[in-house]
Amino acid sequence: MQLSDFDDIRPFAEGEMKEAFNSMLNDRQFSRILKGIVPWMPVGLRNGLLKMLFVGIKTPQDFQIRYMKWVVKYCLRKCATGWSFHFDDSLKKDGSYTFVSNHRDIVLDSAILDMMLHDAGFAKTVEIAIGNNLLIYPWIKTLVRMNKAFIVNRGLSPKETLRSSIHMSQYMHFAINEKHENIWIAQREGRAKDSNDLTQESVLKMLVLGGPQEGKTTADIVKNIKDMNIVPLAISVEYDPCDYLKAQEFQQKRDIPGWKKSKQDDLDNMKIGIWGKKGHVHYESAPCINDWLDTLDTENIPRTDIYRIIAEHIDQEIHRNYRIYPANRAALAELNGEPVDAPEFEKYLNDKIAKVKVENPDVPFLRERILTMYANPLRNYNKARGL
């Protein structure tokens, strides 16, 4: 296969960035956003300045390193008390890995990973799997493709979904083995609203679809998974800026039959996730799972069990590498009926619940939902470490 086979979903390639950037500058809605940021600057001067600053950017990684890395650092300085990371020592800095992580923030999970990989001396940042449901406007689609994103098509019929999954899987294998890129993908579709982070077997099945083996036997499945060089990655955020929005969503789904999020809801989640209070942020990787895959007895493991076994291993690696914060301990203690002395977290909970915008807020329910979001990482951490 070749790069042009994936023109409909892939990030922009070298030689395409300038045209993409100019199309974004000419987008009316993007222009209105820029005007809101610098209302005093004439359009011609503003666009001319941006074009001058874009000189020398030939690839999406150039764009990430020159601009997005510093945007992310600015955001973290404004909204986090600190950040840290540790990549397993066995990972090669010039390697090509598929980072499979839990999912906390729509925008920042992968953007922070890019920054941390570059700061740690890795040769490549990550290409990002992003759902087309988030590409609400044309300029957003252009921007994410400039930022090494490839598109996951959602809302399709079962037949179209299978075709799309095969196509995306083929691209991911191509990106790892031919382009020698890193990839980031969440362990499940969307964020785990209750922070009970469990790898969906369907994600692993998708990865197998585009591999070099037919995938008919357990050994074929393992070979196709191994082809992706999966690295489990734990993302820990002390405070989730969208916790109250997730709790609000739980109540809306409970009280309103057929309720679904709107485009505006997605935009609100993106904005608040980026600029909301985060506390400390930590990224921790496990080793690549390939050595562990080599220990599996593929002759005797039924094909029906192999996805579950691999998913459970990824979960174990993510859960044991969580960074646990005082909020996690206070939340689990309260849910367990134990005495809690955490006035700062109590104030935090009350302030967040007060932000919920529903007609009849069910405060005990909302509180339980937010507490569960903070307790589940500690529950899974304890289980993974046998505590």
| Residue-level pLDDT at 106 | 81
Please choose, from the candidates 283, 282, 293, 285, the residue with its C-alpha nearest in 3D space to the C-alpha of residue 317: 285
| Residue-level pLDDT at 296 | 97
Percent residues over pLDDT 70 in the chain: 100
Asked if the model's pLDDT at residue 203 lies above 90, the reply is: yes
- pLDDT tens column, 7-31: 999 999 988 999 998 998 888 888 8
Asked if the model's pLDDT at residue 149 lies above 90, the reply is: yes
Query: How many residues does the structure list for the chain?
Result: 387
- The more confidently predicted of residues 34 and 102 is 102
| Residue-level pLDDT at 53 | 82
Asked if the model's pLDDT at residue 33 lies above 90, the reply is: no
| Residue-level pLDDT at 9 | 94
- pLDDT tens column, 345-380: 999 999 999 999 998 999 999 999 999 999 999 999
Asked if the model's pLDDT at residue 125 lies above 90, the reply is: yes
- Name the fold adopted by 3-14+60-238+277-321: Glycerol-3-phosphate (1)-acyltransferase (3.40.1130)
* Gyration radius of the chain over CA positions: 22
Asked if the model's pLDDT at residue 137 lies above 90, the reply is: no
| Residue-level pLDDT at 262 | 82
Q: Are 27 and 138 in contact (CB under 8 A)?
A: yes
Query: What single string gives the DSSP state of each residue in 295-344?
Result: TS-TTTS-HHHHHHHHHHHHHHHHHHTPPP-HHHHHHHHHHTT-----HH
> In terms of pTM, does the model score above 0.75?
yes
Asked if the model's pLDDT at residue 176 lies above 80, the reply is: yes
How much is the average pLDDT of 91-117? Answer: 94
CA distances from 204 to 14, 194, 328 (A): 30, 22, 29
CA distances from 164 to 138, 150, 178, 220 (A): 21, 12, 20, 21
How much is the average pLDDT of 333-340? Answer: 95
Confidence label for 215 from pLDDT (cuts 50, 70 and 90): confident
- Residue linked to tokens 């950040």: 83
Asked if the model's pLDDT at residue 38 lies above 80, the reply is: no
- Residue linked to tokens 């209302």: 39
Confidence label for 285 from pLDDT (cuts 50, 70 and 90): very high
Confidence label for 310 from pLDDT (cuts 50, 70 and 90): very high
Query: What single string gives the DSSP state of each residue in 36-78?
Result: HHSTTS-HHHHHHHHHHHHTT--SHHHHIIIIIHHHHHHHHHH
Confidence label for 301 from pLDDT (cuts 50, 70 and 90): very high
How much is the average pLDDT of 192-208? Answer: 94
Euclidean distance between the first and the last CA atom of the chain, given in angstroms as a whole number: 48
Chain mean position to CA 358: 28
Confidence label for 277 from pLDDT (cuts 50, 70 and 90): very high
- pLDDT tens column, 220-266: 999 999 999 999 999 999 999 999 999 999 999 999 999 988 878 87
Residue 378: left if φ>0, alpha if ψ -120 to 50, beta else—which one? alpha
Measure the CA–CA gap between 369 and 350, rounded to whole angstroms: 13
Task: Mean pLDDT check: name the lowest of 37-41, 278-282, 317-321, 383-387.
Answer: 37-41
- The more confidently predicted of residues 43 and 146 is 146
Q: Are 24 and 47 in contact (CB under 8 A)?
A: no
| 332: Cβ contacts below 8 Å, ≥ 6 apart | 374, 375, 378, 379
Sign (positive or negative) of CA dihedral 150, 154, 156, 162: positive
Measure the CA–CA gap between 213 and 205, rounded to whole angstroms: 13
- Residue linked to tokens 């339980």: 368
How much is the average pLDDT of 281-290? Answer: 98
Q: Are 282 and 85 in contact (CB under 8 A)?
A: yes
Confidence label for 148 from pLDDT (cuts 50, 70 and 90): very high
Asked if the model's pLDDT at residue 328 lies above 90, the reply is: yes
Q: Where are the alpha helices (DSSP H) in the chain?
A: 17-25, 28-37, 43-54, 60-63, 69-79, 108-119, 138-146, 158-177, 201-209, 218-226, 243-255, 263-275, 290-294, 303-320, 326-335, 343-354, 363-384
- In the chain, CATH 3.40.1130 sits at 3-14+60-238+277-321
Asked if the model's pLDDT at residue 59 lies above 80, the reply is: yes
Asked if the model's pLDDT at residue 322 lies above 90, the reply is: yes
Q: Are 135 and 150 in contact (CB under 8 A)?
A: no
Report the chain's mean pLDDT, rounded to a whole number. Answer: 93
